[in-house]
Amino acid sequence: MSNRALALLDQVQALPPDERGQLYEMLAPRLASLRPLASAEAAPLPHASPEPARRAPVLKGQRATLRPPREGDKRDRLACGRSPELVRMYGGDCRSVAPLTSEEVERWHEQVSDSSGRGSSARARSSPASGTAT
């Protein structure tokens, strides 16, 4: 991918979520109609591995979108913090709620970004939202 395309992707990721959603809605039909490059036309990626990469799908509903984690999610998760109400909702002890740390957010992001398919079970075992291991 060219530097120009990567810079454009960075700009799109910096948009507020609602604007990104609007952009996606506008571009999705146009992108779907593009003809994929034949294998002879496609340039090999310098970082390509012999095993094909598995990408998680983006699931869009009327009121929610489920997507793979992004780097900016760490900042957003840390800003949400850990509230007693959320800890109680996850079944934790809300009497001794410690503030969410950046190290916990890093571990959380690594777990939910796990491409081996273990991310969701790892997330359930140690949730920074609850402050407890389940």
Say which residue, 42 or 70, is predicted with more confidence: 70
Give yes or no for residue 4 having a pLDDT over 60.
Answer: yes
Q: How many domains are there within the chain?
A: 2
The answer to whether residues 82 and 98 touch, using CB atoms and an 8 Å cutoff, is yes
In which band, very low, low, confident or very high, does the pLDDT at 10 lie, cut at 50, 70 and 90?
A: confident
What is residue 126's predicted lDDT score, i.e. its pLDDT?
42
Q: Looking at the domain assignment, is residue 15 inside a domain? A: yes
> Over the stretch 83-124, which tens digit does the pLDDT of each residue have?
888 888 888 888 888 888 999 999 999 998 875 444 443 334
**Residue 63 within any structural domain of the chain:** no
On whether residue 110 sits in a domain, the answer given is yes
Q: Which domain holds residue 102?
A: 72-133
57 occurs within a structural domain: no
Domain assignment present for 14: yes
Q: pTM (2 decimals)? A: 0.43
Which has the higher per-residue pLDDT, 111 or 55?
111
134/130 Cα distance (integer angstroms): 9
Residue 54, in any domain of the structure: no
Mean residue pLDDT across the chain: 74
Give per-residue pLDDT as tens, 56-70.
788 988 999 999 999
Q: What's the half-sphere exposure (Cβ side, CA atoms, 13 Å) at 100?
A: 24
In a domain, 116, yes or no: yes
In a domain, 107, yes or no: yes
